[in-house]
Amino acid sequence: MQFFIDTANIEQIKEANALGILDGVTTNPSLMAKEGITGKDNIYKHYKAICDIVDGPVSAEVISTDYEGMMREAHELVEIAPNIVIKIPMIKEGIKAIHSLSGEGIPTNCTLVFSAGQAILAAKAGATYLSPFIGRIDDTNWNGIELIREVAEIYAIQGFDTLILAASIRNSRHIVDSAKAGADVVTCPLPSILGLLKHPLTDIGLAKFLADHAKASK
Ligand code: E4P
């Protein structure tokens, strides 16, 4: 399973990259706004800065909601760096754009996915990645991990190549459960990645090892 970080924060991307386990980055317009990045030039410069840090796929989301606009933005975004992936919302015009971009060999990430039916459509259109939003599904008293499991089953039965990218991860347990449910990629905020490190018995065990070593070395 691949690990992406879900942020536009440069320091957090550097910190995750320094761990040596980072395979890529996802962003969205809300994450860009959170960093105070506004205006097309600044946003494109920011994507370039991220692509200079990470070699793996970097998802850059289109703002247009019509086919022509999405295609125009996609063609501009792919010029930024060779590892840019075009993030397209799961809407009718988006499916058309994913199909066209797939035909041009441009990688896509179909975002805002909340159902298995949407997952089938995105795969049929040739999406490279599919982003089911598991945290937001959980927020509606449904089960985001069950959607990952259902899509993984369908893609395996049907032989679809689209990679399942578990998104809207809210905690470390979501990462473990996504792995069990068949996600190919998880995109996570930094605290959820770092949370995987934590276990009280590790801390207690290490403190004891170091204390015993110090005692024996006296
Ligand atoms: C995915 O690519 C999205 O950027 C992201 O995971 C959404 O997460 P949120 O529901 O925490 O905003």
Ligand 1 atom having least distance to the Cα of 87: 2
**Ligand 1 pocket: which of 32, 90, 168 to mutate (most atoms within 8 A of CB):** 168
> Of residues 40, 45, 48, 87, which has the active-site annotation?
87
Q: What does the block give as tokens for 124?
A: 């049929």
Ligand 1 atom having least distance to the Cα of 167: 6
Q: What are 133's strand-pairing partners?
A: 167
From the CA of 26, how far away is ligand 1's center (Å)?
8
Tens-place pLDDT, residues 15-45: 999 999 999 999 999 999 999 999 999 999 9
From the CA of 167, how far away is ligand 1's center (Å)?
6
- 193 confidence band (pLDDT: 50, 70, 90): very high
- Number of neighbouring beta carbons within 10 Å of residue 157: 8
Q: What is the pLDDT averaged over residues 115-135? A: 98
CA-nearest residue, atom 7 of ligand 1: 168
Tens-place pLDDT, residues 198-212: 999 999 999 999 999
Cβ within 8 Å of residue 77, ≥6 positions away:
44, 47, 60, 62, 84, 86
User: What is the predicted pLDDT for the residue at 41?
Assistant: 97
Distances (CA, A) of 25 to 6, 28, 47, 125, 159: 6, 10, 10, 23, 26
Q: What is the pLDDT averaged over residues 167-183? A: 98
User: What is the predicted pLDDT for the residue at 7?
Assistant: 98
User: What is the predicted pLDDT for the residue at 145?
Assistant: 98
Q: Can you give the pTM of this predicted structure?
A: 0.96
Tens-place pLDDT, residues 41-74: 999 999 999 999 999 999 999 999 999 999 999 9
CA-nearest residue, atom 12 of ligand 1: 168
From the CA of 206, how far away is ligand 1's center (Å)?
35
From the CA of 196, how far away is ligand 1's center (Å)?
19
User: What is the predicted pLDDT for the residue at 43?
Assistant: 97
Q: Determine whether the shortest distance from the Cβ of 73 to ligand 1 is under 6 A.
A: no
Q: What does the block give as tokens for 131?
A: 């982003």
Q: Determine whether the shortest distance from the Cβ of 88 to ligand 1 is under 6 A.
A: no
pLDDT mean across residues, the chain: 98
> Of 85, 18, 77, whose CA–CA distance to 53 is shortest?
18
User: What is the predicted pLDDT for the residue at 102?
Assistant: 98
From the CA of 28, how far away is ligand 1's center (Å)?
7
Q: Determine whether the shortest distance from the Cβ of 28 to ligand 1 is under 6 A.
A: yes
CA-nearest residue, atom 10 of ligand 1: 168
User: What is the predicted pLDDT for the residue at 147?
Assistant: 98
| Residue 5: φ, ψ to 5° | -100, 140
87 given a catalytic annotation: yes
Q: How far apart are CA 198 and CA 159, in angstroms?
A: 37
